[in-house]
Structure 1
Amino acid sequence: MPPSADAADRVGMLVPSGMLGAGFDPATVERGLTLNPHVIAVDGGSTDSGPYYLGTGTAKTTAAAVARDLRILLDAAARAGIPLVVGSCGTGGTDSGVDWVAGIAEDILAETGLGLKIARIYSEQNSTFLKEQLDAGRIQPLAPLGPLEAATLEDCTHIVGMMGHEPIADAIRAGAQVVLAGRATDTAVAAAVPLMLGMPPGPTWHAAKIVECGGQCTTNPRAGGVFATIDRSGFVIEPLDPDSACTPISVAAHMLYETVNPYRMREPAGTLDVSSADYTALDDRRVRVEGSRFEPAEQHTIKLEGSRITGYETVSFTGIRDPYIAANIDRWAALLRTMLAERIAQTLGLNTDDYALDIRLYGHNAILQDIDPDTGPAREVGVMLLVNAPTQATATAIAKVANPLMLHLPLPEMHYLPSFAFATSPAETERGAAYEFVLNHVVEVDSPSSMFRTHHTREVTRV
């Protein structure tokens, strides 16, 4: 158990970075320990990097980077006698992601002899169970998706439920000193211990939201982590790096990050409302926040995330420096698409329903496309062709058909043959299976922990 908060005067949260494996200065953790934390909390994953990691059940971080961070944090938690909580292990929060991080942690504990008890909380969901919930009318869509079909559940390679703080708090109450959770809300990882120790939900959930990405709420996001102290009427937040600072603007601005509404944010158990929050600078480094409220939901829900294979991809990239084509790049791209469709039909016998093409013009409008406000000609343009087809061989064959067009295609009025520059040789790179997110739905549950499974391990001793 963490240090007692029976007096309920304050609970401290040490968040070393925005993600396990991202790295941080060990000195910032040491400084955080001097502030008397009750928990060390860090996120281990996200959907930020797309559906591949959930779809494959693999991590975007390296084992070496995760081990480096864990070694520091396990030692810090053991010395302080407080829990270490990691959420969304292995990026997507799959069962294999939890086991991957747990294996690294157990190796470190065996090597160092720290003897900490680990709880693994699994969040992966069975499609048979979810179809039963669907038939019972307990799964509802979130915008912009519509009603869920059973076939979508069957198509997913992995489905996870996004837990709130309850399973984490249950694991700590049961004696866990290290909690390695599957998919969890970013905020639940930090909020679990303060809520368990009696802190009010409004300040707790707001503080958890602000610290979720470590130093991103500071004036120097690269500097690492932050420390939040929650009390009965609000919370104080400060950076762990002495050369960084929190300001009212930097703290308040984090409510704009990954939220539909900058004043309201839904959690499984209810909604955080910061519309009346006040942000006050206590000095040149610390900010106090008061006025946050939490509205309990009438129905507890668990959000589902699922990823499925959409096909197989091959990518090709060429650079254009020809000033005339760069000035007429939209016409050139349209010509490329038209001629490519004709040649694919001629050589491979495929029509446009048999594959998908994405042509991105980097340096022109690849990010915003038609809504890009900059209409001036680009000096140089990078052309990315992304082919998606039912098989890898087909995707690569299509990219090979595009090869001569992406190397020399002139506009009709040009009287010379332009030359472009492929970024790689061979020009085609096979990306393998491509994935997409297909679930944006919630399951109505009677118990906050019913969809999650917790496995407790004994102390890991030196071998």
Structure 2
Amino acid sequence: MLGYGFDEALTRDALRDLQSSNVPTALILDSGSTDSGPAKLALGVMTAPRSNYMRDITKLMCLSHDFHAPVLISSAGGDGTDEHVDAFLDIIKEICDEEVNSVYKFKTLAIYSNVSKTKILESFRAGKVKGCGSAVPQLTEENVQGATQIVAQMGPEPFVEAMEAEPDFNIVIGGRSYDPSPYVAWTIFHANKKASAKGLSDKQIGGFTHMGKIMECGALCATPKTQTAMATVYQDGTFDIKALSPTSRCTPFSVASHTLYEKTRPDILPGPGGNLDLTKSSYVQLLDEKSVRVRGGNFVFSRSVGLPYTIKLEAAKIVGHRTIFMGGIRDPILIAQQTEFQAAIRAHVASQIKTSDGEFWKLGFHNYGLNGVMQALEPGANDYQPREIFLVGEVLASSQELANAVAATARVGVVHGSYPGQRGTAGNFAFGVGGKTDVQMGPCAEFCVYHLLPLEEGQEGTWKMGNGVGRGLFPYKSVVFGRGEASSHRSSISEVPKMTINGKARPTFASTLNYTTPQTLTDIAPVIRSKNSGPYEITLDVVFSSLEVYEIVKNSGLLDAAKIAKMYQLSEEEIIWCGFFDQALGWKCTFPRMGVEVADGVVGDSEGKRVKVASGSFMESDVHASQQYAGLLELELPEEMKKEIVGLELSVE
């Protein structure tokens, strides 16, 4: 992820090792995500500070210049808006203008992805726009109009077309992109040079897309996970992947399990223009014990089955202003009656705050230590009482002034409110963290567009600005920065070499697994995790290291939709997908993000009407959804399963 920092020495060493070959090599980084919520799109901020991008792009340009390797960056600034593409161009210019870099010359292609509201409304009124997944609410004209700006997530086509039109490029800066797009585009760009008259096959595109899906997360596919990975891609779509860190290795299980990562389902992965089908994918350890060879991906183009090419639209709007107050409650008498006490605080605030037409406010409470993280999905017992709770009051209002007033009134109510059995009459609340009573948070953003737009033939591509208006949705321009000599890239591409592979891939076991006296899922599964799958879904992954244990679990009914629904306070109909993925020895379950609605808005309490919510919204507490797996950790194993596992003869690495 551009802006997060990377080890330049590791990348330099890898490029140095490749110098003797003429294999086309590129430095590719995805820079975008909805993981951190809607603020970037609504407020125009970037994921990382400008100085972080300056640092990373400086390293990349140095490496590119020294090794004649072009740089491809997608989703500039995190959201890929036109403004942030231009911000990256400014950074490149600034670096080239430095006297120490007088030898630099970088031809840069900038591809833009903002889409006009007029175009979206035209398609919406024609009934062509639909939600990206069942958890996404229907689009409304009000949400389109309320969006700060709208971006379209481009596939690889604009990158390929721009590179083919200007093959002497050195840098490509893309607007909002499907995360694998620049990786797929680089391979298509070179594979096309050796393609037959029929063009590239679905299996080739499938392999390239699978590679891009893994590489866009760097070396998260390694064990232990690390930053930088290198993929070697062959003409038929086969690819080898390895982590550059000397202390990490890729295994078939670590790579296959990454296929599950932050996706609704592990076998069919939708993207611009079709689906990546991984049902026949295979993963084999190579003899170096650090690399894995991957085959079997297939890309099913939507137009080949009579469906339109679709792209995902993303947008957010400002829905008000936020203020929070926070502190601790240690009194067990008060902790035991938090639901009633917080309802009384809301009533107190309502009696004190009077609003005019057009004004509104909402008040919610995060109860950390009770259900602050998982909120409506909390699987714990309803009568659980912690020793202490960290209470965060969150206010959303039509203006910052009103949010401040509501927060101050609510905080005073929490500090001095009365409750049955009260003993500590001086105050109920240990507050003033960091010397602050109330913390003004500024504008509150909310996703308002996360929908699919169908395109006509050719609209998925690009056209050069200044040459009239083209058919493609994503215009590009070419800019040359610097005064030095332009560098060329390598240009050959290879077939898969005949390499001896290690057919017996060694599984990697977590050191804390317990096969002798297993009691819970934690004892038998080295990976139990959760992650967002877009702003509206949460997905759970469990990965096993033993085929025998995996088969026992798969056939047991331990992990089925009904059980997960009950554990996470859902109905079985709300489960979006639940099933196993044999290649990764893994299981996945996906369901909507849920909150609880009371009279004054969506809050994290356990009482009230349950509703679907989006990440980063008012009272949403886990934008990555990375802590929602906790309910699985203590899932008890049936007695019969314990006996079967204990009776297995397993070799542990």
Q: Tell me if TM exceeds 0.5.
A: yes
The aligned residue for residue 43 of structure 2 is 56
- 1:189 pairs with 2:211: no
The aligned residue for residue 148 of structure 1 is 139
2:93 equivalent among 95, 106, 111: 106
Q: Distance in 2 between matches of 1:169 and 1:233?
A: 17
Do 1:333 and 1:359's aligned partners in 2 also have CA atoms closer than 8 Å? no
1:435 equivalent among 401, 425, 445: 445
1:94-130 CA distances to partner (integer Å, 9 max, x unpaired)? 1111111111122112221310111111111111122
Equivalence map 1:275-354=2 (5 Å): 275-283=279-287, 284-298=289-303, 299-326=308-335, 328=336, 331-336=337-342, 338-350=343-355, 354=360
Which residues of structure 1 form unaligned runs of 5+? Answer: 1-18
The aligned residue for residue 56 of structure 2 is 69
1:179 equivalent among 165, 172, 179: 172
1:209 equivalent among 206, 209, 213: 213
* Worse-matched range after superposition: 69-78 or 136-145: 136-145
The aligned residue for residue 271 of structure 2 is 267
Letter in 2 for 1:145: V
Q: State TM-score, norm by structure 2.
A: 0.64
Higher alpha-carbon Rg: 2
Q: Secondary structure at the match of 1:276?
A: coil
Q: Structure 1 residue 145: deviation in Å?
A: 3.3
Q: Structure 1 residue 146: deviation in Å?
A: 4.9
Letter in 1 for 2:251: T
* Worse-matched range after superposition: 44-53 or 142-151: 142-151
Equivalence map 1:368-379=2 (5 Å): 368-375=374-381, 376-379=384-387
Do 2:241 and 2:291's aligned partners in 1 also have CA atoms closer than 8 Å? yes
Q: Distance in 2 between matches of 1:461 and 1:220?
A: 43
Q: Distance in 2 between matches of 1:360 and 1:431?
A: 16
Q: Structure 1 residue 316: deviation in Å?
A: 0.9
Q: Structure 1 residue 249: deviation in Å?
A: 1.5
The aligned residue for residue 492 of structure 2 is none
Letter in 1 for 2:482: V
Q: Distance in 1 between matches of 2:286 and 2:327?
A: 53
Q: Secondary structure at the match of 1:310?
A: strand
The aligned residue for residue 407 of structure 2 is 399
How many positions carry a matched residue from both structures? 438
Q: Are the structure 2 counterparts of residues 162 and 461 from structure 1 closer, same or farther at C-alpha, using a change threshold of 3 Å? A: same
Q: Structure 1 residue 460: deviation in Å?
A: 2.6
Q: Secondary structure at the match of 2:327?
A: strand
Q: Secondary structure at the match of 2:413?
A: helix
Which residues of structure 2 form unaligned runs of 5+? Answer: 192-199, 462-471, 485-653
- 1:161 pairs with 2:152: yes
* Worse-matched range after superposition: 270-279 or 106-115: 106-115
1:144-194 CA distances to partner (integer Å, 9 max, x unpaired)? 335433222111001100001111122222323211111001111211110
The aligned residue for residue 372 of structure 2 is 366
Do 1:312 and 1:391's aligned partners in 2 also have CA atoms closer than 8 Å? yes
Do 1:332 and 1:411's aligned partners in 2 also have CA atoms closer than 8 Å? no
Do 1:318 and 1:406's aligned partners in 2 also have CA atoms closer than 8 Å? no
Q: Distance in 2 between matches of 1:233 and 1:193?
A: 13
1:304-336 CA distances to partner (integer Å, 9 max, x unpaired)? 00101111111111112234434x1xx224312
Do 2:205 and 2:237's aligned partners in 1 also have CA atoms closer than 8 Å? no
Q: Distance in 2 between matches of 1:289 and 1:410?
A: 64
1:190-248 CA distances to partner (integer Å, 9 max, x unpaired)? 11110222271111111110111112111132x32100111215211000112211111
Do 2:272 and 2:312's aligned partners in 1 also have CA atoms closer than 8 Å? yes
Q: Percent identity?
A: 31
- 1:88 pairs with 2:75: yes
The aligned residue for residue 33 of structure 2 is 46
Question: Relative contact order (alpha carbons < 8 A, sep ≥ 6): 1 or 2 greater?
Answer: 1
Do 1:89 and 1:98's aligned partners in 2 also have CA atoms closer than 8 Å? yes
Q: Distance in 1 between matches of 2:25 and 2:126?
A: 41
Q: Aligned-residue CA RMSD in angstroms?
A: 1.9
